[in-house]
Chain A
Amino acid sequence: MGFYLLTYLLTLANDTDVDYGRGPWIRKLRMDLSEDVIEGLHLAGDSVHIPDQSFLLLLRIVSESIVDRRPADPHLSAKKEFGSVDRGTLKQVYAALGALLLEAAKLDKDVAAVSQVLEDCKFSQERIKQLIAVYQQHKQPLRSVLSKIGSNLPHVVDVDWRLDYYIKNNNLEKVSRPVFLIDLKTRVNASEETETVQIACTQDQLQDLVGKLRDACKGLERVAQL
């Protein structure tokens, strides 16, 4: 009995067709957007505050600056398309549009869910279509940017190797054996810098290492075939 109750509750939670109604429930929209963002969206949809031309341009600027990871242009309000827009409003609308696009991409929301939010914020059909078009165009790049945020172990991106012949040292003559120097280039947390992990191997050790790596590759292939 408990099992059925649990599944029923889970379907309720995931059921995107449940209408949460208007008013105070607007905060409980499936995307968990804050009040400021909702307010900004209301302003964005309102053609009195943001004329049609400005809306299109703003959409494009917001999406491109997130995807290209460019900082916002501080002189945005000086552009002639935003001449009639109050600067405070422009800032809030910019932030709200950005938040909506990112939140929708993060939660992998489909067109219907995003349209629902926009309708609740009193967007015209025309503006809904424009925003959805931008969302669909940039959804994958947005998800790609989001996937790079977060902590990771050092990620190996390249391998360099060098083969030396170890002849002797100050304690020992006639060492006489080959030594491999392996450089593993790692990248930490999506930054551009790489750090290097250097290890030395004799022939046997390298054979052991390569054997283990081959096992890992075979394991991957088997999983990929499932």
Chain B
Amino acid sequence: MLLILGDEHKQHLEYLCSVSLDVVQEFCRLSVEFLMKGTNAKIYNSAAQKLGVEAIIIQKAIEGLMHLFLESSKLLLNEIDFRDSVKAAGFSDELQSELLRCYLENQADIRRIQLDISMGLSHYRDLEWRLDVKLASRSLRHQVEPVVTMKLHVKDSGKEETRLLQTDPVNLVHMTRTLEEALQELNSAHCRRICRNF
């Protein structure tokens, strides 16, 4: 599968052809850093001063690189496909190798970030539990009621929440059995067939 770069995109990346390899390396490193942590406009200005061009050109070049890496990670391009896509944009062999190296090194991290920003549901993180016995309340004395209190930690797109829940022994056993069944289902022939085909 080839990644087709748009004309504007190619234009932005053209600047990279005119600079030395270590500048390209630096730009690659910056683009990955910006993907992980967010952009920093000051860097554009200081780089522009050092290289003697306008800051906007530097910005477009780095953003072009970021977009290239994002799209490639999204499609999970392998080595050959990535090289071919970049070659079609007119980069020299040296440049291609450098871009490929950066892509492969950071692919896993970029995919992880893309997954994090994707629409997600509250994901389970941890469960703490404890067993209490309710002895009395204002409305009833002399009770002996076992209660299992649980603290469920969930994570929803970066935000962590905890929910306090309780249950009784019967429902606890019921919950455990039902969820064990759910796990078993993953090993059934039907599920294995589907998972294999994708």
Contact = CB atoms under 8 A, between A and B. Distances in A.
A157 B170 CA distance: 9
A98 B125 CA distance: 49
A220 interface: yes
Contacts of B169: 220
Contact of B123 (A154, A163, A205, A215): A205
A174 B72 CA distance: 12
A2 B6 CA distance: 90
Size bin of chain A's contact surface: 35 or more
Contacts, number: 159
A155 B139 contact: no
Given A150-B137, A176-B198, A209 B179 contact: yes
B139 A203 contact: no
A133 interface: no
Interface string B130-171: 010000011111110110111010100000000111111101
Interface of A: 105-108, 143, 146-147, 149-150, 152-159, 161, 163, 165, 167, 169-176, 178, 180-182, 184, 186, 197-203, 205-210, 212-217, 219-220, 223
16 contacts: A106-B141, A143-B140, A153-B165, A169-B119, A170-B118, A173-B75, A173-B76, A178-B191, A199-B122, A200-B122, A210-B180, A213-B129, A213-B172, A213-B175, A213-B176, A220-B169
